[in-house]
Amino acid sequence: MNNYSTINLIFIFLGSLVLLFIVAPLLGMFLSTSYIDIVDTAKDVEVQNSIWLTLYTSFIATFTFAILAIPLAYILARNDFWAKRLVLGIIDLPIVIPHSAAGIAILGFITRDTVVGKTASHFGIDLVGHPIGISLAMAFVSIPYLLNAAKDGFVGVPDRLEKAALNLGASPIRVFFTISLPLAWRNILSGMILMFARGMSEFGAVVIVAYHPMITPVQIYERFGAFGLKYARPVAVIFIVVCLLFFIALRMLSNERRK
């Protein structure tokens, strides 16, 4: 019992150091920023526009690619095929490669010389420096979170329920929408929240695809480089608060759906 208590105390101490490492820099930033600076920065139209741009481009990226990612996650959860490990490795690639390299890859994918870029140009859209380009960069670095969460959700759905419904005459599409998707929805929603949050915080890939218009992470960097820490810090504080509010709200929505 004493040994167990000693181990617990050691683990609590080590865990507290990790928590302190996370909290201390953020707390220091908040305490170092005056209320007046926060209020003045919050009234800045450029800051408001950048936050709005960040939020809606991340929403667009999340919900658009969810339509593509969820069916892929179901296939990976329910089928074994020779290239499955390769596909799983490809899914995790955006997590491990440098995000500046991801930005260069996306930039080369959407320029006017490419099929995607030429197609967009026919509709009068230049994806480079466009909100759609920003959404694509966000989606590239964040989609593994949704894919992996959705796949785990579908794996957790008992396949006997699907087989029973099929034996009773239900079509595969009906089984998917009435059994598989509702039972895996908790994981899918959690994955969408993580994808949204990760896309919202992206800098490296986005700054290469679209320096302008500025999302908030790029604006924080731009103000730091041009004016220093004093002018960048209030923007960072406001954006962190906005991110936390959205993240808490989405988590509460997720918990309500679970109930």
Q: What is the mean pLDDT of residues 37-46?
A: 93
Query: How many domains does the structure of the chain reveal?
Result: 2
For residue 41, the one-letter residue type is T
Within 13 Å of residue 186, how many CA atoms lie on the same side as its CB?
A: 11
Q: Among 209, 39, 116, which residue's Cα sits nearest to residue 217?
A: 209
Q: What is the mean pLDDT of residues 210-222?
A: 94
Tell whether 96 and 216 lie within a shared domain. yes
Give the range among 30-34, 189-193, 254-258 with minimum mean pLDDT.
254-258
Domain containing residue 95: CATH number:
1.10.3720.10
Tell whether 133 and 5 lie within a shared domain. no
Mean predicted lDDT score pLDDT of the chain: 91
Tell whether 120 and 227 lie within a shared domain. yes
Tell whether 187 and 69 lie within a shared domain. yes
Q: The tokens of 243 are what?
A: 């991110």
Please give the model's pTM, rounded to 2 decimal places. Answer: 0.89
Cβ neighbours of residue 73 closer than 8 Å, sequence gap 6 or more: 146, 147, 148, 150, 151, 153, 154, 188
Contact 74, 179 (CB under 8 A): no
* First-to-last C-alpha distance (Å) of the chain: 38
Tell whether 14 and 39 lie within a shared domain. no
User: What is the percentage of the chain residues whose pLDDT exceeds 70?
Assistant: 96
Tell whether 142 and 215 lie within a shared domain. yes
Q: The tokens of 188 are what?
A: 């899918």
Q: What integer pLDDT is reported at residue 3 of this predicted model?
A: 59
**Is residue 1 scored above 70 in pLDDT?**
no
**Other Cβ atoms within 10 Å of 89 Cβ, number:** 11
- C-alpha span between 171 and 17 (Å, rounded): 54
257 band by pLDDT with thresholds 50, 70 and 90: low
Tell whether 26 and 40 lie within a shared domain. no
**Is residue 226 scored above 60 in pLDDT?**
yes
In this structure, which long-range contacts are made by residues 216-225, counting pairs with CB atoms below 8 Å and at least 24 apart in sequence? 216/47, 216/50, 216/51, 216/53, 216/54, 217/54, 218/50, 219/46, 219/47, 219/50
- C-alpha span between 99 and 195 (Å, rounded): 15
245 band by pLDDT with thresholds 50, 70 and 90: confident
Tell whether 20 and 139 lie within a shared domain. no
5 band by pLDDT with thresholds 50, 70 and 90: confident
User: What is the percentage of the chain residues whose pLDDT exceeds 90?
Assistant: 71
Tell whether 232 and 251 lie within a shared domain. yes
Contact 144, 134 (CB under 8 A): no
Helix 229-258 to helix 216-227 angle, to the nearest 10 degrees? 160
**Is residue 233 scored above 60 in pLDDT?**
yes
What domain range includes position 225?
A: 35-258
Helix (H, G, I), strand (E, B) or coil at 156: coil
- C-alpha span between 213 and 177 (Å, rounded): 39
Contact 100, 131 (CB under 8 A): no
Q: What integer pLDDT is reported at residue 81 of this predicted model?
A: 87
Q: What integer pLDDT is reported at residue 255 of this predicted model?
A: 66
Cα dihedral 196, 202, 205, 210 sign: positive
Tell whether 20 and 80 lie within a shared domain. no
Tell whether 73 and 15 lie within a shared domain. no
Tell whether 22 and 39 lie within a shared domain. no
